[in-house]
Structure 1
Amino acid sequence: MECSHKTYNIYCDESTHLENDGQPYMIYGYVSIPYNEMALAKKQIREIKQKHGYEGELKWTNISDKTFALYNEIVDYFFMTNMKFRAVIVDKSEIDNTRAEYSYNDFYFRMYYQLLHHQMDMDSTYNVYFDIKDTCSQRKLHKLAEILKYNSAIRDFNFVKSHQVHFIQLADILMGAINYHLRIQRGTIEGKVRAKRLIVEKIKRQTNLSLLCTTPLKNKKFNLFFINLQK
C-alpha cells in the first residue's frame, strides 16, 4: 500500500522517440524515488561505481562484457530499494501522421500524459524532472505543465542534465533493456551483446514479466503500458 503524504521525485527520459531514427519503438519512462531516500541512494550508487572503478555516465549503450559486473549490481540495487519504474511503449508503425491527434508534434505530450497520469497518489506530492535535450525543451516543459496543471499532486516541473543525475541514468538503463528485448523479438537486431542479454534476463526474473505486454496498474515497482493505436 502506498504511504500517504509523502514527497517523491520522478525522473523522466525518452528512448528512440524521434520520428526518423530508424528504430521500431518509442519508449518514455521514469524512475521515481521517495524524496527522503535520495541522499542515501545517491551515495550508494556512487559507491557501486567506485567499487568497479567506473567514472562515466550510466547508460544502456555503455553495457558490455567489460562493464557487466557494474551494471548487474546497479540493476540489483534498483530492485532492492523503494525506487519504482514505469514506461509507456508505442510501435511507431502504428502512428498515422494523417491523423492530427497522432502527429509527432503532439505525440510527445500524449506519451507523457499517459506516463505520469495513472500512477500518482493524490495524497502525495511529486517533483517531476526531465532530461534537457535541445533548445525546444523549455517550450515543451511549459506545455506539459499546462496539460497537467489540474493534477494538484505535482508540485514542480524542472529540467536536469542526465549526466549529473543517477536516477535518469537508471531510467535509461531500464528503458534500454526493454527496447533491446523488443527489437530482438521483432527480429530487427540479433542481440549479440551477451552482457545486455544477461541484464534483460535479470530484469525478467526480478519482475516475473515477459517485458512484451502491458502490466496491471497494481504493478507499482515495474509498470509497463503498451499503447495500441489501432483501436
Structure 2
Amino acid sequence: MTKTYNFYCDESTHIEKDGQPYMLLSFISTSYHQLKIHNENIRELKIKHHYKGEMKWSSISKSQYPFYNQVIEYFFATDLQFRAIVIDKSKLNHEAFGQSHDDFYDKMYFQLLTKKIFPENNYNIYIDIKDTHSYKKARSLKQYLERDYHNIRTLQVIRSYESELMQLSDVLMGAINYKLRGLNRVTAKNNIIEKIERHCGRPITQKTFKDESKFNLFFIDLK
C-alpha cells in the first residue's frame, strides 16, 4: 500500500547578500495519517503553557522556555523527522557555475528533499511563504523536481501560521544557525540547544550519518 508523507519546509538566512554566513534549508516530515494528531498535540501544549501565536526560534526566552522544552521532548518522542542542509555562503561562486542565486536555491532544495523521497511513496511538500517571489520559486522548484520524480502530489507555499510542523522546523533550524554563528547570549536558547544535542548524541554543528532519520544534518561541500 502506497503511503503519503508531508514535508513542511523552511529556510533561514537564505538571501545571497544578507550579511549572514550560512544559508539553511530544512523540513519536518510526517506520514499523512499522523498529521492531525501532531497538530492537535502541539496545539494542546500551546494551550497548556498559555502560548499564543507561532513558534519561532527568535521567540524563545526565559518565560517561554518550559513550553519550548516540552515541544522538543515531543519531537524526539514521536515519529516526526527533521532534515537540514547548511551552505557556507562565503564559498558561493555562481558565475563559475553559470547560475543565478535562484538556480542555486532550486538545486539546494533538490539536495534537501531528494534524499528523503522514495519511489514507493507519495509526497506533499509545503514551503513557507517569505515574499512575493515565493510562488514563483515554488513553481520553479516543482518543475525542477518533476524532471526526476513523479510521486510529488503537491508542492505549494503556505504561511507558517497555518502549520505547527513548519513552525517546529523553524525552531530546530534556528537552533543550528544560532550555534553555527557562535551566539550564546540567551540562556533559554542555549538550554534548548543542549537538550537537542543530548537527544542527538552529538553537537548540532556536525553532520550526521547519511542514513540518520530522526535528526539529519548535512553540510554542502561547494566545489
TM-score category (smaller protein): over 0.9
State the number of aligned residues.
222
Among candidates 208, 212, 216, match of residue 201 of structure 2: 208
Q: Distance in 1 between matches of 2:135 and 2:174?
A: 25
Identity of aligned residues (%): 45
Matches within 5 A, 1:211-230: 211-229=204-222
What is the CA-CA distance between 1:102 and the residue it aligns to? 5.5
Whichever residue aligns with residue 214 of structure 2, its letter is K
- 1:105 CA displacement: 2.5
**2-side partners of 1:89 and 1:125: how far apart?**
26
Tell me the CA shift for residue 153 of structure 1. 2.5
| Structure 1 residue 145 corresponds to structure 2 residue 142 | yes
Asked whether 1:183 is paired with 2:177, we answer no
CA deviation after TM superposition for structure 1 residue 126, in Å: 0.7
Q: Secondary structure at the match of 1:133?
A: coil
Instruction: Return the letter of the residue paired with 1:197.
Output: N
- Match for 1:93 among 90, 94, 98? 90
**Distance in 2 between the 1:138 and 1:181 partners?**
31
Provide TM-score, normalisation by structure 1: 0.92
Q: Name the CA shift for 1:174/1:68 in 2 (closer, same or farther; >3 Å).
A: same
1:93 is aligned with what amino acid? S
Supply the distance in 2 between the matched residues of 1:101 and 1:7 (Cα, whole angstroms).
36
Q: Give the conservation status (yes or no) of the 8 Å contact 2:60–2:68.
A: yes
- Give a deviation string over 1:18-64, Cα, whole Å, max 9, x none: 12222111100000011101111111111100010011110000001
- Structural RMSD (CA): 1.3
SS in 2 for 1:148: helix
Kindly provide the CA deviation profile for residues 64-100 of structure 1, in whole angstroms up to 9, marking residues without a partner as x.
1110000000111111111100001011111124324
Amino acid at match of 1:127: N
Question: How far off its partner does 1:101 sit?
Answer: 4.2
Distance, in Å, in 2 between the alignment partners of 1:110 and 1:101 is 13
Equivalence for 2:2: 5
8 Å contact from structure 2 (residues 135, 156) kept in 1: no
Please name the residue that 2:167 is paired with. Answer: 169
TM-score normalized by the length of structure 2: 0.95
Per the alignment, residue 199 of structure 1 pairs with: 192
In 2, the alpha carbon distance for the partners of 1:103 and 1:63 equals 35
1:119 and 2:112 are equivalent in the alignment: no
Moved more, 52-61 or 207-216: 207-216
Counterpart pick for 1:67 among 64, 71, 82:
64
Matched position secondary structure for 1:200? helix
Q: Which residue identity lines up with residue 210 of structure 1 in the other structure? A: P
User: 1:18 and 2:15 equivalent?
Assistant: yes
Task: Choose 175-184 or 117-126, whichever is displaced more.
Answer: 117-126
- What letter is aligned with 2:64? T
